[in-house]
Structures are given as C-alpha cells and as structure tokens.
Structure 1
Amino acid sequence: MLLRRADIALDMARRHRYTHQRYLEGQDEHHLRQLTLIRDLQDAVSNGELWMAYQPKVNAMTGRVNQCEALMRWRHPSLGFIPPDEFIGLAERSGSIRMLSQWMLANVCAQLHAWKQQGYHLSIAVNLSASDVVDRQLSVHLTSLFERYQLNPAQLSIEVTESAVMQDVDAAMSTLLELNQLGLSIAIDDYGTGYSSLAQIKRLPVSELKIDKSFVLAIDSQKMI
C-alpha cells in the first residue's frame, strides 16, 4: 500500500510538474477509477459506448443555425456518464487519443453526409487534441474521409486550444497549414488561458478566436474587464 500511494503521488507530481507531492486521502479511489477508465476506453468504440452530441452555433445577427460543434460523449456500462474533461485527458495520457479522434472524424463525416442527403447543408466544428495537431498523417486521413463521404472540406472546421498549439508551435503550424490548404477553417479555442501572444497566433492560418468562458461569463455584470 505504501509503494502504491507513493506511486500515485509521483504520478500527480509528474502530471502537474510539481517538485514534490504528498499523497492525499481518497486518491486511491481516484487512481483506481482512472485505471478502470483507461482500460475500458480501449473497448468503448467497438462496444458502442461513445456517441457524438451536436451543439448548434447560432448567428446572433440572423438567429439562424449555420454550424454545429461536435462533442464526444461516453456512457460507461457500470460507471454511467463520464465527463469529457475526464476521459479526454486520460486518453491523451494513455495514448488512446488518436484512436478516439479517428473515430470522431469518421462519425462526424458520416453525419454530414446523412444531413446532406436529407437536404440540410450545415458545417461542423470538431475539437482536436495536442497529439492530433502534430500528426503528419491527419490531412491524408481527412482527405480519405472527404472522398468516401463526398464532402466539401469547407463543411468541416477545426478547433484547437491555445495550449495545444503552444506545446509544439512549429509542428502545429505545419499541420494546420495543410488542413487550411485543404479548405478547412481553423479556430483557436479557449483563447486567453495560455501563454501565446497575438503575434504568435498571427503566424497560424486562423480565422476565428474563441475567447475562454472565464472572461465572458459575467460580462453583463462586470463594470471593467
């Protein structure tokens, strides 16, 4: 037990880049839950436990929906609904994130094709991880999906967080340029939470900045920002 708890504290220190970390009461249960989710995530796709929710993006001027944001969801067979900010982080740490991203992109492209068949011409925004934006095969994979589902690349837009880009700016820029040249639009999500500057963002093929919610939640009641 002592060694296990020392290992838990070590893992916490590594993830948060602390110089030291003490074991805290209750971390055993949290650690076991994480191990369970990492293990079960491998089979979540094949077992049909994942699905995509589509959040409409409404044009404030016209009141019309012109795009949806695709959001991955997971209902675990015994643990119930798992928050995305929990399992996405675990997928990134365990190396499963590209598997999830490939499933998501295929699912989204299939949905776009289905909507097109029904006469709905919408675009979808998808969120990519830090691992995705340095994947040199991403544009090849997307090109294959566009051909399979007979889609215009402009129907898909990419959202990536500021922190994900800043992990490897040069590699991210290369990938995002390739995607932009395919015809996809690029947005920086959660802007303002990282350490980038507008000068750095200007180097990227970005058409939209999404300000982090911490800056706008109380915008109607704040006297100054």
Structure 2
Amino acid sequence: MPTTPGDLADDLAAAVGGAEIFAVYQPQVSLESGSIVAAEALCRWRHPRLGDIDPVTMIGVAEQSGVIHALGRRMLGECLDTLAGWRETGRDWAVAVNVSPMQFEDESFADHVAGEFERRALARGSLVFELPRDLPPIGDDAVLSRLHLLRGIGVEFSLAGSGVEAPSPELLRRLPVAEVKLPGELVRAAERPAPAWLREQVGVAHAHGLRVVAEGIETLTHLDTAVELGCDRAQGFLIRQPHEEIAFP
C-alpha cells in the first residue's frame, strides 16, 4: 500500500525520539589556514521500511504536520551534545544548525535554546543558526527580539544566499547575522575571473563585517573561485562529505 503524507507525518512523529533520526556533519574549513573551524549539522531520517527519506520531503512533512518543533528540539539537543564533546577533545569548532522559520514563531523557542546553550556552558559563537534569506516573519518585531536575545547569549546567525542579488544593506542591518553563505550553484557556475555580481555579494558582506562561506565546493576549480572571491570559509564534497563520524582528523 502506498505511503500517504499523513502516514509519513505519523511515522516522523514517532521517529523523533529514536535512532531513525540522526545528524550528519559536513566540515567547513578556513580558506586562510586550511583547518576545520566548523561543521554544518544536517538532519537525516532512516525510515525502517522506506529507507532514507529525502531531507526536503522530511522537512516539508515536519512543517506541514507541526512535528518541526519536536524535531528541531531533538536536533538541537543532539548537536549541542556533539559540540560539547568536540570541546572535551580539544576541537574548538562551531556547529551550524538549520532552523525553520516556524521555529521562530514559537514563543518558547528562544528561551529553550538559551537554556540548553547555557546549561552546557558553551562558548560564544560555537552555535550558528542558519536562516533562509526569505525568512517569512523577518519583519515581525517579536521574532527579531528572539533573534537578538539569542545573539546576546552568544548564538550566531548565518544568512543563506539566494540568486544573483546581494543581501540588501537594510536586511543586514536589521538581522543580527555574523555570516552570509554563497549557494553552491552560484560558485560552481561562476566563470574565471569571477563575475562582478558575485564579487559584489562577498563585498557587501565584508563591508558589514560578516564572514562569507562558499558552499558546494566539489572541484579544485570551485575552490579556486572561492579563494579568488575572498571567501573566508568553504564546505563541500571536495573537502568532506557529510558523515555521522565527528572525530575528523
């Protein structure tokens, strides 16, 4: 019998507390030193009957069913435990976690994150929330106050890239972001020398004191482009594929 969206929603709700849900981590390296400085946590769902569920499908089901709040808290706890483990073994890395706009609409979200972050006595800047560029409630004063509350305790925010236009100065002033990400499809499609509009994206971010992360680096040519653009960090399959193992050399 085919699986319906309702079936998937029920399965996901049941899976949130178990081993079917787990994180894989993709390292980010500093383009200055070549060292790992952070890792992006990516949520995965290994369904016992259907196998690996596509992440886009999983998040869509979670948002439509409301399971996103429980899923987000589960992933946050797992990632913060991982981060604490890195610290104990001398790995001074940050962990980047994707956040759904729906989570910021939850009045208890910021207080929950603050409590979990402070309970583990984590260093400022060690937790990064990745925000979509088109975050729907971005003009909501209540949402912005939650962002600033979290920024005040040391949580950083990364703004996802989107299209050929640089983020507007108004958006960068309004949001307490620390970095901007260049989408992999833009970096991979760029000719050499890099086009002016792509250099502008990096320039706008740097002019606002933000670091720039180039995503989707798959070849040495892509890496050369990121370096030419003046990006600060890079991630992608050339550097390391996402993996459950966290003890990167």
TM-score (norm 2): 0.70
Counterpart for residue 160 of structure 2: 189
Alpha carbons of structure 1 residues 109 and 172: separation in structure 2 relative to 1, 3 Å: same
Structure 1 or 2: more helix by fraction: 1
Alpha carbons of structure 1 residues 167 and 196: separation in structure 2 relative to 1, 3 Å: farther
Counterpart for residue 19 of structure 1: none
Q: Helix, strand or coil: the match of 1:162?
A: coil
Q: Helix, strand or coil: the match of 1:111?
A: helix
Q: Helix, strand or coil: the match of 2:101?
A: coil
Unaligned 5+ runs, structure 1: 1-27
Structure 1's consecutive aligned runs of 4 or more residues displaced over 3 angstroms after TM superposition are 190-198, 220-225
Counterpart for residue 154 of structure 1: 125
Return the match for 1:93 from 33, 41, 64. Answer: 64
Aligned-pair distance for 1:193?
A: 8.2
Q: Helix, strand or coil: the match of 1:135?
A: coil
**Identity, % of aligned pairs?**
33
Count of residues paired in the alignment: 195
- Contact preservation (8 Å) 1:192, 1:211: no
Aligned-pair distance for 1:133?
A: 2.2
Counterpart for residue 71 of structure 1: 42
- Contact preservation (8 Å) 2:17, 2:74: no
Counterpart for residue 14 of structure 1: none
Counterpart AA for 1:157 = V
Aligned-pair distance for 1:168?
A: 4.2
Counterpart for residue 97 of structure 2: 126
Unaligned 5+ runs, structure 2: 198-249
Counterpart for residue 47 of structure 1: 18
- The 1-side partners of 2:164 and 2:104 are apart by 18
Q: How well do the aligned residues superpose, as a CA RMSD in angstroms?
A: 2.5
- The 2-side partners of 1:185 and 1:223 are apart by 29
Report which stretch shifted further, 49-58 or 155-164. 155-164
- Contact preservation (8 Å) 1:162, 1:193: no
- Contact preservation (8 Å) 2:114, 2:150: no
Counterpart for residue 180 of structure 2: 209
- The 2-side partners of 1:60 and 1:94 are apart by 40
Alpha carbons of structure 1 residues 93 and 66: separation in structure 2 relative to 1, 3 Å: same
Counterpart for residue 169 of structure 1: 139
TM-score (norm 1): 0.77
- The 2-side partners of 1:57 and 1:222 are apart by 24
Counterpart AA for 1:143 = A
- The 1-side partners of 2:26 and 2:194 are apart by 30
Q: Which one has the largest radius of gyration? A: 1
- Contact preservation (8 Å) 1:189, 1:210: yes
Report which stretch shifted further, 178-187 or 138-147. 138-147
Aligned-pair distance for 1:152?
A: 2.2
Aligned-pair distance for 1:220?
A: 3.5
